[in-house]
């Protein structure tokens, strides 16, 4: 079990930041693994009730995942980031933005998995 699942947020944050720093040095700023860690750090902030800190990280991760998919939305984590962005915006009471992100995530998931997928 990881620190986030155990709600040990203060233990998780420095480890995620260190991992992000190392991955950026080793792999560059636009690598899929960097986007994954960036998204995980943003999710930590969402769990902590810090949507203002999470939103820019989620946008950064989304941009990287979209680039990994050659400029399209075929990367499997694009819809995840969009959904998380919807949550961050909703928590900030930016409901119009939240709806837009949620609808885009739903569209991608329906296109990928079909409308009958649970």
Q: What is the reported pLDDT for 43?
A: 92
Summarize pLDDT for 49-66 with one digit per residue, the tens: 999 999 999 999 999 988
Report residue 109's pLDDT band, with 50, 70 and 90 as the boundaries: confident
Report residue 118's pLDDT band, with 50, 70 and 90 as the boundaries: confident
Query: Is 70 exceeded by the pLDDT of residue 14?
Result: yes
Burial code of 24-63, b = ≥16 C-beta within 10 A, e = fewer? beeeeeebbebbbbbbbbbbbbbebeebeebbebbebbbe
Q: Counting every residue, how long is the chain?
A: 118
Q: What is the CA radius of gyration of the chain?
A: 15
Q: Calculate mean pLDDT across residues 82-109.
A: 95
């Amino acid at each position: 079990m990881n620190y986030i699942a155990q709600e040990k947020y203060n233990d998780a944050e420095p480890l995620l930041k260190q991992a992000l720093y190392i991955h950026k040095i080793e792999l560059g700023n636009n690598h899929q693994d960097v986007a994954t860690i960036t998204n995980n750090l943003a999710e930590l902030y969402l769990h902590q009730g810090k949507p203002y800190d999470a939103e820019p990280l989620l946008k950064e991760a989304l941009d990287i995942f979209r680039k990994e998919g050659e400029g399209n939305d075929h990367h499997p984590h694009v819809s995840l980031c969009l959904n998380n962005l919807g949550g961050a915006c909703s928590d900030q009471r930016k409901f119009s933005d939240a709806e837009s992100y949620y609808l885009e995530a739903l569209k991608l998931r329906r296109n990928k998995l079909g409308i009958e997928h649970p």
